[in-house]
Copies of this chain bind each other. A is one copy, B any other.
Amino acid sequence: MNIKILAEQLNLSISTVSRALRDSYEISEPTKARVRAMAKQLNYRINPYASSLRRHRSKTIAVLIPEITNNFFSQVINGIEYIAQEKNYHILIYITHEDVRKEIEFAHHLHNGRVDGVLMSVSAETNNYDHLNELMESGVPIVFFDRICESIETSSIITDDFESGFAATEHLFQCGCRRIGFFGLFEHLSISRKRYEGYLAALKKYGINKDDDLIVRSGNDIAANEAAITKVLTSANKPDGAFASIEKMAIASYNVCKRLDIDIPSQLKLISFSNLEISTLLNPSLTTITQPAYEIGKQAAMQLFRYLEKKLYMNRHEKIVLKSSLIPRQSTKKTHSA
């Protein structure tokens, strides 16, 4: 089944049929109707590979993320999918598992025209962005979300990381904490650095000195993370509050507290970044900061389509900053920066 057979059945030329199918203005309405009817009857579908080969565009975008079993990223995908469906685009998923080598491999692969554009959040290990620069230079637009790459000149969607880091720390202070731990990712990630800077700013505002013994940086190894947290929580100068700036560390902290029989919140106040919608529901003693993940996905996809539709040229770029919400343990929702 191909366009040739369809054209023969209709006693029309291939080109006429092709134009009719793409609803070209050059074709009369009756002809279009005939073509559509016959196409339907014969169950004809345009071959996407032939079409893409000819048109040099794939109607496909790639989504590159560090992990998928994470409510934040799956909500983002949901948002992306909403826009992609609207635009009749297809979504290819690539998961790096926080492995730079995989990220590089995917980036290199995508030079081949398989996708028209890329939406991504960089892996925690990544600190050299050559592979992404090359991809951009080869004409594939990239839009970053959340874990962005500041040295690459392109659009990105982020949340108010500094402000929410500040708000989280301030919240702990207002709950009476004076020794506040920070559990986060490596500082070369922009989100980590900014949340950390917010944390530092809040400490400063309330006249608390930073104590490096209360800082834990997450690696990929969960056991190692838990060991590092355990060390902090069992030290002589242990914290009375902690800010887990990524969900992975929140879960690790929770595990450690359980093992050490430390009660949250009476012995340790914990506040964490989390998009696990039901976490506060299941355990109201957790205070969380939630990012508008679905909206982030939508905005990122919309921005990418601006590039694809040439409404925005690749040498122009925009940073879009969305607001996170702080959900205190009373479960009353409020936007911290509203």
Contacts and interface: CB of A to CB of B under 8 A. Distances in A.
Nearest to A62: B90
Interface stretch (A5-13, A110-118, A227-235): A110-118
17 contacts: A47-B53, A48-B112, A48-B113, A49-B52, A49-B53, A49-B113, A53-B53, A68-B77, A68-B78, A69-B75, A71-B71, A77-B93, A78-B95, A254-B282, A258-B281, A276-B276, A282-B283
What 3 A-B pairs have minimum CB-CB distances, sorted nearest first?
A45-B112, A282-B282, A282-B283
A93 B111 contact: no
Most chain-B Cβ atoms within 10 A of its Cβ — which of A67, A68, A75, A276? A68
A77 B52 CA distance: 27
A43 interface: yes
Contacts of A68: 74, 77-78, 81
A111 B44 CA distance: 9
A236 interface: no
A249 interface: no
A55 to B, nearest CB: 9
Contact of A281 (B45, B46, B70, B251): B251
A173 to B, nearest CB: 25
Interface residues of A, number: 43
A91 B254 CA distance: 34
B281 A279 contact: no
Contact of A283 (B90, B111, B283): B283
Contacts of A338: none
Given A68-B77, A78-B68, A254-B278, A90 B114 contact: yes
A17 B67 CA distance: 37
Interface in A197-227: none
A109 interface: yes
A16 interface: no
Contacts of A109: 45
A72 to B, nearest CB: 10
Contacts of A60: 92
A111 B279 CA distance: 41
Nearest to A293: B69
Nearest to A247: B278
A69 B74 contact: yes
Contact of A93 (B48, B70, B81, B282): B81
